[in-house]
Structures are given as C-alpha cells and as structure tokens.
Structure 1
C-alpha cells in the first residue's frame, strides 16, 4: 500500500493547487481524480464560459462597428466553431495542469475515492484512465483533503434531460443556437449564459425567485445591470418561479407563477436550470467516519479541518462562496497548516465575486444594505463611468463604482462595480481591504490617466464629498 503525507481527493482548482503547494512544502503528495484535471471550473465552468463570452463580445462589437467609425458587412457566426474554440481553450489548460502536477512530482491516481478508517483511501478505477497511470487500490496518508467540488442543484420539475432542459454542461456545447431560451435563476451562472445567448441573437427570458436580479449583489448595482440587460432585449421576471414545464418534441412550454398569484406561459426552444450548486459529498464515506456535514457541504474551520482529525475539506464541498479562487486559497492555507506553517484563516468577507455578463459586475465586502444591518454608520461614494475619459473613449460610458466606508474609522467595508472590465478593477479594492487601507490612503494614491481605474479613485473621493469630475 502506497503511503503519502497528503492525499487530495479531487483535482479541481482547490485540489490541484493544494497538491502543488503541498509538494512545494516537501510533502509526499497524491491527488485522486476520476474525470479531468482542472475540475469543473477549467473544463465545464469558469474558463470555457469566458471563451464563449469572449466570442459574444467580439460579435457584439462587429455588429456595432459603425459606433466606432468602422464598417463590417455580412456579420455572422458559426455555433460549432464557437464551441470548438471554447473546448480548445479548456483542453489547453487541462494539459497545463497535468504538466504542473508532473513537474512538482505529484502522483495522480485515476479513479473514485472513498475514505476508510485509519487514514486510508479506497480508489475505484476510472472509466478511461491514461495509459500506465496509477489507479484502483488502497492508499494511505497522514492527511486527507476532500476537494470534490459541486454539481448543479436540481429542483423538482426542473430536472435536466440534456436535450430540452439544460444545466451549464449542455449550455456550453449547443449543437445549434436556440431562438428562444428560458433561464431559471439569475445568479452568476444564469446571468452569464443569459448574456451570452442574448448577444448571439437569442430571445431570452430570465426568471428569478428573489426581488432583484443577481441577488447577492448590491441592490443599486443590480438595478443598473438589469436596466442594461433589458435595454439589450432581455426579459426579466422577478419574484417569480417556474411552476411547470410541458415538453414537446423540440420545445418547452413553461408556466411561470408570479408574486401576485397570476401565471404566464411561454414557449421556448430550451431551458437552462441555473438554480445553484450543491456539494459532492455522497459516496465518500463521510457518514461512516462521523464527519459532520451541513446543508450538503462538509463543515470545516478556517483552515479546512473537519470534525475528524487528519481529514480536511476545501473548495465548493466545504461551503459557500462556491468560487474557484476561494477554493485555491483555501487549498493553500489548508496544506500550509498541515505543514506547520503559520497561516491566516480564510476571511470570506474579503473574497471578490465576478460576473462576466455584459455589463460586467464585480464586488467585495459588504453591500450598502448589509453594512447598515451590521450597525455601521457609513459613508457611500459613487462615481459613474460617464465621468471617465477612458470609458467614453471605449464607448462604454454606462457603469458605476460604489464604495462603502465606516464613517468612524475610514475602513473600506465594501466595493461594488458594474461596467466595462470591472472584473479586472475589483482586485484593487480587494488588495486595499487586505492591507486594511483607509479612505485617506486611497485618496492619496495616484491612479494612472486615462484609465478606468480612475473611477475607483473618484468613488472614494465622492464618499467624502471630494469628487472632482462629477
């Protein structure tokens, strides 16, 4: 039986990053994976969706060429080619992960793992493992890290059939572009697909049970995004739910129930169910070992320790926020704690969220509503993209940066952005929060001109009545 210092179950963003860091720290490390290196994020999530959205973005600019003094005739697209490019991007990165694991001397065991007593892991062979790879058998480790990720949540009546009712798996590889689409759920996954398909000319309806689109975002930012979505032709129904789906040969008729009790029926080509994800905790033997779970996730402390010594959990399976970058950071601090390093526990208040719709949305920290509910006396700064020279030059003057400060201390409590490239801008605020930067520090920081980042500076100034360009 092979003996390791660390065995990691799952090679997604959390798992493979944890494995590499463990190996760097001198720990003999193996990672167990049943399907594909890089996990859902790299193969069926974060990365391929961004490739699709990039194609949609280029198509959008081509169809609006005259706005930039250009001409483009007979603009069209090839659905198969768009999908092929997206899959190619994933394949390239998948191979890169394999190379990184090999470089760092991490053993890859191909199969499905189950935890046994005494620090052992039983592996059942994968369907198509690489030739000569490690596979089925029993392995042992002093430390076992569960990084099995999550899968789409399924609601009664919205069960995916892979033909008419899609999850994100099917939505990423359409054989043809649907003409009419219903998206159930307006979180990051739902709204990104809604944005992609709408840009490609599909008639899109989004149904959201909550009172605002993108429910976790600041209400003001979400309202601006919704106006932009609707201006693009997207139909959004809030405080509504899909009560029933009636499937035809190649279409679906949905009965949508609204808050006032009235109903509406629409017939579409396809339905995307984007009602969240649930942790992959089944079949791991957690119950047999008495490892505590809650709401479909493994219960952990700030460095990934479960209720059983020697067993850890990271990433989606360890609970929200279910984001790849959270999983990566969690994996690093988990194995550094295993190696005896001094680590700072995960601070979920400083994890940024990004949604790559059009316009983009990004945020970190408390929303205005949450800050007030927490009892803070706050100062709020807002700066619109229309006051920024670079945004106007880009033809992207619709947007807003909103910052929230503790009025007593000047602590940055939250930042919320909507507009062009805000998913790249948000990290400036994340760094500021991690460095415990105050409003005075940010005010005295020089931002380059002309850049979109100047909107960040102006938003801080606006919170204290000092904005220059508005």
Structure 2
C-alpha cells in the first residue's frame, strides 16, 4: 500500500469538495480529492444541473402550447421524451468533465475511491482510500475536509423500487412519462419535479405533511404558488398523512388523509421527496471527537469539527442544503487553513431558489420570522401585473415582497415569485451582504424596461412610495 502526503485532503468531489481543492491549489497548498462516483457530486450529476435542463424543456413545452397569446400557431406540437432526458444527461456529463479538466489544470490529483479517517501519524491525519478497482491507498495530510454530501431520505414503505417509487435519481432518468404521478413532499425538489412533469403533460398530485406547500418560504409566497399550481391543473393536498402503498401490475394506490377527508389515489408512479440525510457512514468518525447530529456533522462557524484538523462543509454539515452554500464554505474553510482572515457565513444572507413555474426565490427573514425575532417591520409588495416588461413577456403572474426593519431601515428579507426571479434575487442578496437600508435601495436606479424594476417598486412600497400600482 502506497502512501502520499499532502497539506490538505478533501473527501468528496461535489460543489463543496472540488471548489475547496481549487482554492487550495490557488493558495499553493498541496491538495488531493477523493471521489468514488462522479466529480461535481449530486448537484452537478443528479440534482441542480440536470433538473434545470429538464425544467427548461418543460418551459418550452408550455410555451409551445401557449403560443396563441403571442400571435403564433403551431399544429400538434410534440416532443421526444427520450431526447429530453438524454439532453439533460448530456448537460450533466459535459459539466462533470469540465470539473475534471479544472482539477487537472490546477494539478490536483483525484483518487477515484472512498476515503476514511484512519488515525494519526504525528501531526498528520491518515486517510485510507479504497479505490474503485479494489486497491488500497493511504494518504496523509495535516488537514482533512469532509465534503461527502447527502442522499435522499427513505421512509418505510416509500423505498425506491426501480418501478413504482422513484427518488430524485429515478425521476431524472424515468422509464416513461407517467400519465398519473404522485409527488410526496413539497420542498424545492418535490416542487420542481411536480412542475416539470405537470408541464410535460402528467396529471400530478402534490402531497405535503405540513399545512402549506413550500413551508420554508414566506407564507404569502406559498399561497401564491399554491394558487398558480392549482390553476395549472395540479392537485395539492396539505396536512396529509399517507397509508401504505398498494402495488398492482401497472399502477400503485395509496390512501391519503387530510383534515377533511380520506381519499384513495391511484397513479402510475410515485416520487418520494421527503428530505435528505447526510453521508456520514464509513468515514471513520467513530474513533474521533466528531459529533453527528441527526445524520449531519456538527461544526462551528468556521466549519471545524470536534476533531482537530478535520472540517466538514456542504450538505453533510447540515442546512441549508444548497450548492452555493457548500462552495462558499469551501473557500472560507480553505482560506482559514491557509491563515487568511475570513468571516463566518450568515445563513440569513444565503439565497434560496426553486425553479418551478413560476420560479421562487428568497433571502433573509420571512415576515413571520422577522416579527418572531422581535423586529418591528415595514413590508412592501409589488405585483408583476404592474410591470411593463413582465406584461410584454406574457408573464404577469408574480410578486416581489420586501421586509424592512422599521427602526433602522435594514433590509431583513426579500421574497419573490414569478418569471426570472431566481436571477433577480442576487440584487437583494447584495443588499443584505452590504447591509444596505431602504435609503440606498430607494436611490438605486433600475434599468427600464426590466422585471427587476418590480424590486425597486417593492422597496418604495414599504415606505408608501410605489409609483406604478
């Protein structure tokens, strides 16, 4: 068994792991990545990127069936579902290859295997790597970053079975376009799949155990999403409890109980999107001071675990489970290792985006959270129906909502639903990061005509100055 020494070893090659390695290489640290599956991790290969490719296809399908409002007519628009899926996989493959190229360009070796903490040798950590070909390699490093990500939570009775019950993986490479689909869980993953399949023509039922869909979003945004999804023909059940699945030859049935009724739902396929669990197994944590809390590694604000020289970033380190959070943690963690001055991440300055139709984006406190935290708030709202660009695009359905500290004018939060809001939210993220108040935002000039003007109007609205509604 050969042994190789580095300053840093990163276990996991997702958006946290590979970014950590690239930043370490920039800072002249000797670094290696251990990855047993695909560079780019779940996000690039089985999450963020391929789902966006699918959602783009579903948006096109929706537009093809809504061309009349623009003065166009197309007879019998149709699609090749296999090609839609193949394009999504091709996009993921291209970007995964790109990550490999970046690591090679930065002279970062990649060990194609699974790493495990296996003790210390003086001030060095030992990492045993079981390569995919079965061979064993030992690495040593003064620092180790665990970036092993997470996987879909599996509930008893909802185990993916390769046919009737899908996790996100099966939903990305389906064997067919189901005529009837049940989606369990209305977080970002469940909502995006529900939106994709509905816009491709499936009859979709979305089930949520909480009292509203998208429960982490501002309640007003959740209500607007509910109304929009129902308008699109989606059936939504909240406060729902599911009975056991009954599988037949070509379909599956389940009893769903809400506060008002119990009904039997029969579908062709079920997508289970009920959360994630951290990949903490087989990492050698049992012989360390690392604490695992509800499947996630506990860290401090600088990503340090309880074990000296070992850090954890990204999904394995807990919420929010977002690729951009993992990448930012990666840079902060590596810069701290290199002795640079760093600032801990403020979770209220991390944006969240859901790419359903209509899109949803937010940053900071919801109105309810701000009030519960003791703030006196000023709230501004502006609907897309008052925005010229949105109307010209045929996208008048949407809302921008701002939440300010009434005492200081600080922007506490922003919440948006509508076309392109996942691109627009960054403006409010910059405002949160820069600790801007309503004074600076009111003085900011937004280009016309753009949907982003609704952001300005929502700021003005909080102070009684909205001009176009």
TM-score bucket (shorter structure): over 0.9
Distance in 1, matches of 2:128 and 2:312, equals 17
1:322 corresponds to? 321
1:259 and 1:24 map into 2 onto residues whose CA distance is 56
Q: Which residue of 1 aligns with 2:291?
A: 292
What residue is the counterpart of 1:126 in the other structure? 132
Matched, 1:257 2:257: yes
Q: Structure 2 CA distance, aligned partners of 1:74 and 1:224?
A: 31
SS in 2 for 1:117: strand
2:37 counterpart of 1:35: yes
Distance, in Å, in 1 between the alignment partners of 2:70 and 2:273 is 35
For residue 16 of structure 2, give the secondary structure of its aligned residue in structure 1: helix
- The aligned counterpart of 1:340 is 339
Do residues 374 (structure 1) and 373 (structure 2) align?
yes
C-alpha separation in 2, matches of 1:374 and 1:107: 47
Indicate conservation of the 8 Å contact 1:9/1:32, yes or no: yes
Identify the residue that residue 246 of structure 1 maps to in structure 2.
Answer: 246
Secondary structure of 2:307's counterpart equals coil
- What's the secondary structure of 2:280's corresponding residue? coil
Matches for 1:38-117 after TM superposition, within 5 Å:
38-117=40-119
* Counterpart for residue 11 of structure 2: 9
**Equivalent residue, structure 1, for 2:360:** 361
Please name the residue that 1:352 is paired with.
351
Deviations 1:99-152 (A, max 9, x none): 000111111001011111110000111159xxxxxx731110000000000000
Contact preservation (8 Å) 1:79, 1:175: no
Cα deviation, 1:372-410, whole Å, max 9, x if unaligned, reads 100100000000000000000000001000000000000
CA deviation after TM superposition for structure 1 residue 193, in Å? 0.2
RMSD, matched Cα: 0.9
Aligned counterpart, 1:219: 219
- Offset of residue 347 of structure 1: 0.9
User: Hey, what's the Cα distance between the residues in 1 that align with 2:137 and 2:443?
Assistant: 60
How many Å apart are 1:290 and its aligned residue?
2.8
What displacement does 1:175 show? 2.1
Query: Are 1:200 and 2:206 an aligned pair?
Result: no
Paired residue total: 463
The residue number in structure 2 matching 1:331 is 330
Cα distance in 1 for partners of 2:358, 2:238 equals: 19
1:427: which partner in 2?
426
CA contact (8 A) 1:79 1:174 kept: no
CA distance in 2, matches of 1:349, 1:287: 33
Cα displacement (A) at 1:302? 1.2
1:386-397 maps to which residues of 2 (within 5 A)?
A: 386-397=385-396
Residue number in structure 2 paired with 1:231: 231
Measured in 2, the distance between the counterparts of 1:273 and 1:380 equals: 36
The equivalent residue for 1:131 is none
> Aligned partners of 2:42, 2:210: CA distance in 1, in Å?
27
Q: Which residue of 2 aligns with 1:143?
A: 143
Q: What 5-or-longer segments of structure 1 have no aligned partner?
A: 129-134
Give the C-alpha shift of residue 244 in structure 1: 1.3
Please name the residue that 2:160 is paired with. 160
Counterpart Cα distance in 2 of 1:344 and 1:207 = 40
Give distance in 2, aligned partners of 1:136 and 1:450. 60
C-alpha separation between the residues in 1 aligned to 2:218 and 2:392? 27
Task: Indicate the residue corresponding to 1:449 in structure 2.
Answer: 448
Gaps of 5+ in 2: none
Q: Do the aligned partners of 1:404 and 1:413 also contact (CA within 8 Å) in 2?
A: yes
1:361 deviation in Å? Answer: 0.3
Contact 1:379–1:463 (Cα < 8 Å) also in 2: yes
Task: List per-residue Cα deviations over 1:16-45 (Å, max 9, x = no partner).
Answer: 001000110010000000010000000000
Q: Is the 8 A contact 1:151 1:278 kept in 2?
A: yes
| Alpha carbons 1:116, 1:289 under 8 Å: kept | no
In 2, Cα distance between equivalents of 1:345 and 1:48? 31
- Distance in 2, matches of 1:39 and 1:282, equals 17
C-alpha distance after superposition, 1:358-383 (max 9, x if no partner): 00000000000000100100000000
Structure 1 contact 244–256 (Cα < 8 Å) conserved: no
The whole-number CA distance in structure 1 between the counterparts of 2:250 and 2:279 is 32
Give the C-alpha shift of residue 241 in structure 1. Answer: 2.0
| SS of 2:112 mapped into structure 1 | strand
